[in-house]
Structure 1
Amino acid sequence: MGFEFKTDDKPFHMAFDHDNFDGEGLKEHAFNIRLPDGELSSKQWFFDGIKILYTEAILDRTTHFDWKGDTELISMHFNLQGCTSIQQDGMEAAFELKKNQHNLSYGTQAQGKMMFDELKMKSFVIQFQKESFLNISKNGNESLKRFADSIVAGKPILFSKANLNIDLSQLNCIHSILNCNYAADLKKLFFLSKTIELLVLQAESFNTIQHSNSTYLKYDHDKERIIFARDYLVDNIESPPSLIELAKIAGLNEYKLKRGFKEVFHQTAFSYLSDLRLELAKNQLLEGKKPVTEIAFEMGYCSLQHFSTAFKKKFAVSPSQVK
């Protein structure tokens, strides 16, 4: 079977065949499915015992779908929007991924509900066959080695008991995978490098939480407001609000916004915004469709010189050298 996905309201089923993991080269699939209460689109890539899956759903109302799988897989979950609950056979309890959360899991039998608590859902998942993951992670840090020991023992496990927050480095890595324009052979190599990078970032994120002295944000509501503040900054990248204005928009006091943002995203709000602007600018420069001046002003820089200075400081090359 591999993987089933269905609703109770109307007959709906799709399966991801385990055999897709086998074979050489890079396999790509994309599909759109009309759901009882909306539409789902998905892209997936298979190579070297690895599957990358990106899924979006747009719904007419909040709903949920049942799913189950019978394949032994290690899964990196990045929940970009919506809420997903996962129950692994052999685990004590289900784990739930909310917006902007990630985790790593191993299981041989799994089932659960994809609970779409918003009208839009976005999910990014990388799955490994056992041998592929153990080969990649064998030179990892102690946390990854302990996780690998559980896999070898056949014990279903979560990498982190508490879900971790998706930071800008991870988000940029995901975006670079989804927007990759390389030809098949180079794309496969690129995907492998980014898969390893995401695993490293995930392991480092876990270590950061482990060595953190305290957690400032105690309630889900406050975390949700911090993520809202981030999304508002991203949506208003050309003319962002001041920190005081952003705090009011998010419904937080300025101190909680500053400290909470640093806890969730590991940098200040405007450091995050600056890095995001430059990453987006670099991607547009690589595409080569717009002149440097247009990109600079689209990213909210008041002058080409200001943009060039910031760009060179971050990437050690000038924008013209990237083009």
Structure 2
Amino acid sequence: MIFSFSATADFDFLTQFARHVGVPVDNDTMLIPEALGQGYIRRLAFGADFKITLHHYTLKEDLIIKRNCFEGGNDLITIFFYSNEQSLEIAFDNNPNVLFSQRDDSAVQVTSNDLSSTIRFPAKHKISYAVIGVMVPRLKSMLTLRKPNTILQTITSSGNSFLFFESMTAETKLLLKNMASLNMDDSLSHFYMQIKVQELLYVLFHQLSKRESTTHQNINSADAERLLHIRNEIIGDLSVPPVLGELAHIAAMSETKLKQLFKQTFGSSIYNYFQQARMEEAAFLLKQGRRSVAEVGYELGFTNLSHFSRLFEKHYGLKPKRFSSSS
């Protein structure tokens, strides 16, 4: 199933999607029809300029959501939280065939509304995600920033084109889980949800506020697609360190532009992103208990196991052997 829309300021996903599948909206909730699967989509509005849509369902066929670039431009910011149990496919063209998420590496995406995107949700898997739509003036008034870094300045100013990815913290996952389990018949449920949505924003913007302040470079959909492709090149084989010149050639960018846009989008240099992914993969493999520390180290390209142990301890506070036995 394909659902396509343009990100205008007044677009309401719930109403239009319910119309697309031919079901009613009752009390700001749409139940997934049995012919398509099971679950629901719920919308909560805290004013015309601040809304969240919660998605919890399992579908019988793949769902492709295509957001078309709105060339008229407006101050709408979209923040996408995906608590994945299955890999998520995100693309910024019409062919979503690249996995974004690895293992439990859930995605948080912050974007201006002038970028097109395509997201594919796999059939027969539990889908759980939330989308916050907020206008720049409302967000700026909520954050009350005193000394924002360039990332926050970019997001809270009009006319910028941007895309930022952040990892999802354990705190964010717990907030989303609590929001999903709330009894909406409770008379104070709407008040509770507004507080929790603002907590989500606090955690996210606290992460973004820690990023290095550098000159922002506007991004377009073609750049976003190339960056996502480069990210997947980097993590495709974690036993081989990335070579900047080769990645720049693949991205059809200069090395300088690639380095700047990658760090701007993902919050880390290409090599540091590689090392972080490497350590996360090591932790995952060690938790499985099927490989020794040496096997994990060699599989991830370390010829010096002492170096692997030191690097792992720097990331997780425990040596690999102790981490493995404590998992």
TM-score after normalising by structure 2:
0.51
Q: Is 2:111 the partner of 1:105?
A: yes
Matching residue of 1:115: 120
Higher relative contact order (CA 8 A, sep 6+): 2
Q: Tell me the percent identity.
A: 12
Task: Give SS of 1:123's match.
Answer: strand
- Whether 1:187 aligns to 2:189 is yes
Task: Label 1:33 to 1:137 Cα distance change in 2 as closer, same or farther (>3 A).
Answer: same
Q: Letter of the aligned partner of 2:290 in structure 1?
A: K
Unaligned runs of 5+ in 2: 6-11, 17-25, 213-266, 298-304
Q: How many residues align?
A: 227
Alpha-carbon distance in structure 1 between the residues aligned to 2:118 and 2:197: 26
SS in 2 for 1:103: strand
RMSD: 4.8
SS for the counterpart of 2:42 is: strand
Identify the residue that residue 31 of structure 1 maps to in structure 2.
30
Indicate the residue corresponding to 2:203 in structure 1: 201
Alignment partner of 2:170 out of 147, 168, 171: 168
Query: Whole-Å Cα distance in 2 between the matches of residues 61 and 149 of structure 1?
Result: 38
Provide closer, same or farther for how the CA distance between residues 261 and 129 of structure 1 changes in structure 2, counting only shifts above 3 A: farther
Q: 1:155 to 1:114 in 2, by over 3 A?
A: same
For residue 100 of structure 1, report the CA deviation from its aligned partner: 0.5
AA partner of residue 126 (structure 1):
I
Deviation for aligned residue 1:29: 1.8
1:168 Cα shift?
0.7
* Alignment CA distance shift 1:46-1:104 (3 Å): same
Q: Which residue of 2 aligns with 1:74?
A: 77
TM-score (norm 1): 0.52
SS at match of 2:197: helix
Match of 1:178 among 171, 177, 180: 180
Deviations 1:80-108 (A, max 9, x none): 124253649xxxxxx9853502122222x
- Structure having the higher strand fraction is 1
What's the offset of the Cα at 1:39? Answer: 5.3
Q: Is the 8 A contact 1:67 1:113 kept in 2?
A: yes
2:296 to 250, 253, 276: 253
By how many angstroms is 1:154 displaced? 1.6
Report the counterpart of residue 155 of structure 1 in structure 2: 160
Equivalences for residues 202-281 of structure 1 within 5 A: 202-208=204-210, 210=212, 215=272, 217-218=274-275, 223=280, 229=284, 246-248=288-290, 253=296
Q: 1:219 to 1:203 in 2, by over 3 A?
A: closer
Say if 1:5 and 1:68, in contact at 8 Å, map to a contact too: no
Q: Structure 1, unaligned stretches of length 5 or more?
A: 8-13, 19-26, 89-94, 230-242, 275-323
The answer to whether the 8 Å contact 1:225/1:250 transfers is: no
Aligned to 1:5: 3
Q: Closer, same or farther in 2 for the Cα pair 1:179/1:153, shift >3 Å?
A: same
Task: State the 1:253 CA deviation.
Answer: 3.0
State the alpha-carbon separation in 2 of the partners of residues 183 and 125 from structure 1: 22
* In 2, Cα distance between equivalents of 1:221 and 1:36: 42
C-alpha distance in 1, partners of 2:50/2:169? 23
